């Protein structure tokens, strides 16, 4: 690449701005009178501290003025920078009628426990008006270990559902109309997307449901695997990135309505980064993935229309609204000017949001209901497509049935009772919000520039740049909380002297599930054609060595009833292990 994204956009956008928003005479009059106002009305202290930088959890450090007026946005060009909802540059929303046409998808996580229990829980959420579902996998499944491996001890079915092989998928989705309900499967990593998603496809195949009827998403983000998570074993960021692209290509070729990647800013931010880094990293990842898919001989419009993002709205309310609008505009500009995309759908920044869990506190947990409501409201005012609201007991355990219902109700109250969904982009045009949207967009682009100048995201991860950035962010934020610079109600601000532990009763470890899963694995390993399994696993390992698309081979392995642990080991053997760059 000869030019960076920032250089390309700089050249193209300069030529597109030709209708200033205000006439010069009006601006002159405002400039003439504002000085008077400042002199006569604004206190000395406020003049001195005209700019303050909000100190919030996961905040960005963008300074704020006391007040914003037309002069702050005088360089804006309405059609180039804002336009109309459903039209370029999509700042004001990707659909013309936004939530009037279709409310945000209320997509709560579906809980933990055995495959049969989770099947019941999904049905319960659907009965209560959830319009999609979010399948949370247990830790061994996320980390690709079988329920009977020693590492899985104590973790089976605790924070999600165990999936060892296709039989578990069959149990989880029994009698659930997967050709009518969209399923988001929270796979996190490229490696486990390649392992787990084919099991879903084989389950559909066995039920006679064609793959072009299936709708939903997987996560499939190499930053999640190489940077955000910790674990007992890794393959190199380069191999992980390649697997991410293999999944994209495979899903695009075989499951046309499936979102093949959810670029996960959320977990990186929650791990420890600002909302700017969250978006800069996810966008860099998208840019590099598309470059790779194009290199493999595909058209950008063939791949781009199904990309999805996943963001974490936290406490700085206006910044959160601004971030969603800014990243929508920036994504449009990248697709239009850098990739020359033709299909408007390729330029849509579609996103799922989950309210910030790190911003929720252990002290006085009911306060978290209020916090999460503001996070959710910011996401909706920012035009998100789909929403999960975290629960008040987040600092204690996986949400209980009662608290997850309250989260769903939070969404429904905003949607049905506050009327905020009746008008598209209701805060658009606010001098403050538009200034902040411009500042956020510039800050994200600057950080993308930094990544590109270092040779791209995989290299940044291999060198530990991102890991170091996260560690520093965590140390710095902890320091600010301890000094009281970041104020948290009930913790370091208006803390009651007598902090009692609330009576949160969480379901205990699923009794006997581990043994049940082990027995099931034994039975499956006895009953399947093990020669076929061995053949499939050998082909899988060789595909990794030869640089073929790996996902076609994990699909064959899933068909043979190979387990996730068996596939994981074949992939590690094929690519070779890598040492994590976590900095502690």
Partner 1 sequence: MEKKIRVLLSQPSLENHSRGIITVANMLRNAGMEVIYISNSLPDQVARTAIQEDVDAIGISILCGAELIFGKDLVDKAKEFNMREDVIFMMGGIFPPQHIPKLKEIGFSGIFGPSATKEEIVGFITQNVSVN
By the criterion CB under 8 A, which residues form the site for partner 1?
139-140, 142-143, 145, 150-155, 158-159, 228-232, 270-272, 358, 361-363, 395-398, 470-471, 474-475, 478, 482, 491, 501-506, 508-509, 580, 582-584
Q: How far is the CB of 231 from partner 1 (least distance, A)?
A: 6
Identity of the residue, 69 or 502, whose beta carbon is nearer to partner 1 in the bound complex: 502
Identity of the residue, 417 or 511, whose beta carbon is nearer to partner 1 in the bound complex: 511
Identity of the residue, 93 or 365, whose beta carbon is nearer to partner 1 in the bound complex: 365
Strands 64-65 vs 51-52: parallel, antiparallel or unpaired: antiparallel
Identity of the residue, 73 or 361, whose beta carbon is nearer to partner 1 in the bound complex: 361
Identity of the residue, 22 or 396, whose beta carbon is nearer to partner 1 in the bound complex: 396
Side-chain-side CA neighbours of 438 within 13 Å: the count stands at 17
Identity of the residue, 364 or 450, whose beta carbon is nearer to partner 1 in the bound complex: 364
Identity of the residue, 186 or 203, whose beta carbon is nearer to partner 1 in the bound complex: 186
End-to-end Cα, the chain, rounded Å: 35
Q: How far is the CB of 355 from partner 1 (least distance, A)?
A: 16
Q: How far is the CB of 416 from partner 1 (least distance, A)?
A: 32
> Which residue, among 277, 266, 351, has the nearest Cα to 313 in the 3D structure?
266
Q: How far is the CB of 580 from partner 1 (least distance, A)?
A: 7
Beta-carbon contacts of residue 375 (< 8 Å; ≥ 6 apart): 313, 314, 315, 320, 355, 356, 359, 389, 390
Q: How far is the CB of 120 from partner 1 (least distance, A)?
A: 20
Q: How far is the CB of 396 from partner 1 (least distance, A)?
A: 6
Identity of the residue, 32 or 508, whose beta carbon is nearer to partner 1 in the bound complex: 508
- φ, ψ for residue 8 (rounded to 5)? -60, -50
Residues forming beta bridges with residue 220, ordered by sequence position: none
Contact between 390 and 360 under an 8 Å Cβ cutoff? The reply is yes
Residue 107 CA to its chain's centroid (Å): 13
- The token duo for 416 is 């049905």
Q: How far is the CB of 514 from partner 1 (least distance, A)?
A: 9
Residue owning tokens 């996560």: 219
Q: How far is the CB of 167 from partner 1 (least distance, A)?
A: 22
Contact between 398 and 504 under an 8 Å Cβ cutoff? The reply is no
Contact between 189 and 141 under an 8 Å Cβ cutoff? The reply is no
> Which residue, among 486, 548, 425, has the nearest Cα to 89 in the 3D structure?
425
Contact between 412 and 110 under an 8 Å Cβ cutoff? The reply is no
Identity of the residue, 151 or 548, whose beta carbon is nearer to partner 1 in the bound complex: 151
- The token duo for 70 is 């037309």
Identity of the residue, 143 or 411, whose beta carbon is nearer to partner 1 in the bound complex: 143
**Length, in residues, of the chain:** 584
- Distance, in Å, from the CA atom of 437 to the CA atom of 432, rounded to the nearest integer, reads 9
Q: How far is the CB of 515 from partner 1 (least distance, A)?
A: 13
- The token duo for 117 is 């229990």
- Distance, in Å, from the CA atom of 230 to the CA atom of 151, rounded to the nearest integer, reads 14
> Can you spell out the DSSP letters for 148-216?
TSGGGTTTTTSSSB---SHHHHHHHTTT--TTTS-EEE---SHHHHHHHHHHHHHHHHHTT--GGG--E
Residues forming beta bridges with residue 161, ordered by sequence position: 137
Q: How far is the CB of 409 from partner 1 (least distance, A)?
A: 23
- The token duo for 220 is 């499939």
Identity of the residue, 266 or 290, whose beta carbon is nearer to partner 1 in the bound complex: 266
Q: How far is the CB of 144 from partner 1 (least distance, A)?
A: 10
């Amino acid at each position: 690449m000869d030019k960076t994204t920032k250089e390309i956009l700089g050249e193209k956008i300069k030529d597109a701005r030709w209708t200033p928003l205000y006439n010069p005479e009006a601006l002159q009059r405002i400039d003439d009178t504002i000085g008077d106002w400042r002199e006569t009305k604004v206190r000395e202290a406020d003049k001195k501290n005209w700019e303050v930088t909000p100190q919030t959890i996961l905040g960005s450090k963008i300074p704020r003025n006391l007040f914003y007026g037309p002069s702050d946005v005088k360089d804006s060009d309405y059609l180039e920078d804002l336009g109309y909802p459903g039209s370029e540059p999509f700042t004001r929303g990707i659909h013309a009628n936004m939530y009037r046409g279709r409310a945000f998808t209320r997509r709560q996580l579906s809980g933990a426990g055995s495959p049969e229990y989770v099947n019941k829980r999904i049905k319960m959420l659907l009965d209560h008006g959830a319009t999609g579902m979010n399948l949370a996998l247990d830790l061994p499944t996320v980390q690709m270990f079988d329920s009977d491996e020693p590492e899985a001890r104590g973790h089976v079915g605790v924070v999600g559902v165990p999936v060892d092989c296709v039989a578990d998928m069959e149990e989880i989705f029994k009698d659930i109309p997967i050709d009518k309900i969209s399923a988001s499967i929270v796979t996190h990593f490229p490696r486990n997307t390649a392992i787990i998603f084919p099991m879903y496809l084989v389950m559909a195949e066995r039920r006679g449901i064609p793959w072009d009827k299936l709708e939903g998403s997987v996560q499939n983000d190499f930053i999640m695997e190489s940077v955000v998570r910790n674990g007992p074993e890794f393959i190199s960021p380069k191999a992980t990135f390649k697997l991410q692209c293999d999944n994209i290509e495979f899903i695009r070729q075989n499951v046309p309505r499936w979102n093949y990647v959810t670029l996960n800013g959320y977990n990186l931010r929650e791990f420890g980064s600002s909302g700017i880094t969250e978006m800069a990293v996810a966008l860099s990842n998208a840019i590099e993935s598309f470059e790779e898919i194009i290199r493999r001989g595909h058209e950008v419009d063939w791949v781009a229309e199904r990309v999805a993002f996943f963001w974490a709205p936290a406490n700085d309310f206006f910044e959160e609204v601004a971030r969603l609008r800014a990243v929508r505009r920036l994504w449009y500009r990248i697709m239009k000017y850098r990739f020359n995309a033709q299909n408007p759908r390729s330029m849509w920044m579609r996103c799922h949001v989950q309210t910030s869990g790190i911003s929720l506190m252990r002290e006085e947990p009911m306060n978290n209901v209020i916090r999460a409501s503001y996070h959710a409201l910011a996401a909706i005012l920012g035009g998100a497509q789909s929403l999960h609201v975290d629960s008040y007991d987040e600092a204690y355990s996986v949400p209980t049935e009662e608290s997850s219902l309250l989260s769903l109700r939070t969404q429904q109250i905003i949607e049905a009772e506050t009327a905020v969904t009746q008008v598209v982009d209701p805060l658009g045009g606010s001098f403050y919000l538009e200034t902040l949207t411009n500042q956020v967009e510039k800050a994200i682009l600057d950080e993308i520039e930094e990544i590109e100048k270092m040779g791209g995201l995989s290299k940044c991860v291999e060198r530990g740049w991102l890991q170091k950035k996260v560690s520093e962010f965590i140390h710095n934020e902890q320091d600010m909380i301890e000094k009281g610079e970041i104020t948290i109600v009930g913790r370091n601000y208006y803390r009651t002297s007598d902090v009692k532990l609330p009576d949160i009763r969480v379901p205990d470890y699923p009794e006997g599930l581990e043994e049940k899963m082990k027995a099931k694995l034994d039975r499956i390993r006895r009953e399947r054609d093990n020669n076929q399994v061995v053949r499939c696993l050998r082909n899988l390992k060789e595909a990794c060595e030869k640089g073929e698309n790996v996902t076609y081979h994990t699909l064959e392995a899933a068909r043979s009833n190979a387990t996730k642990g068996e596939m994981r080991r074949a992939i590690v053997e094929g690519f070779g292990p890598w040492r994590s760059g976590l900095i502690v």
